[in-house]
Structure 1
Amino acid sequence: MTFAVICLLITVFSLWGLFRELKTKNFFAVGFAAVTVLVFGWFSVMSLFAYITRGGGAAIM
């Protein structure tokens, strides 16, 4: 659960940076922020989904 919350916080801060860099038209930083939002957003959503559905967040191997 902690991992999902940390990933969610990183996603929120990256969204903030994405919009801030869009305003300044720094497209190199926009690209990195967009990739960060996609990757960490995916991890946070899937971790929360696994925690809710499986009750512990552990992946089935």
Structure 2
Amino acid sequence: MVLGIILLFVAILSVFAVFREMKHRNIFAILFSGASALVFGWFSVMTILNALFPDTF
């Protein structure tokens, strides 16, 4: 459960990085921070769901 919360925190920070880099118009950084937000967000949701419902996933 703690791992899911840490991953969720990293995903939220990545979303902030997307908006910051949109202001700077850095396309390469937008792509990488957007991809990391999606990946870390997916892993955090699946980790939390697995902790709450262990036999389902």
State the Cα RMSD in Å: 1.6
Please list the CA deviations of residues 19-41 of structure 1 after superposition, one character each: whole Å capped at 9, or x if unmatched.
11011110100010011001100
Deviation at 1:50, TM superposition (A): 0.8
Aligned counterparts of 2:33 and 2:5: Cα–Cα separation in 1: 18
Aligned counterparts of 2:45 and 2:23: Cα–Cα separation in 1: 27
In structure 2, the residue matched to 1:14 is 14
Q: Does 1:33 align with 2:23?
A: no
TM-score, normalised by the number of residues in structure 1: 0.84
Which runs of structure 1 show a deviation greater than 2 angstroms over 4 or more consecutive aligned residues?
Answer: none
Structure 2, unaligned runs of 5 or more: none
Q: Would you say how many aligned residue pairs link Structure 1 and Structure 2?
A: 56
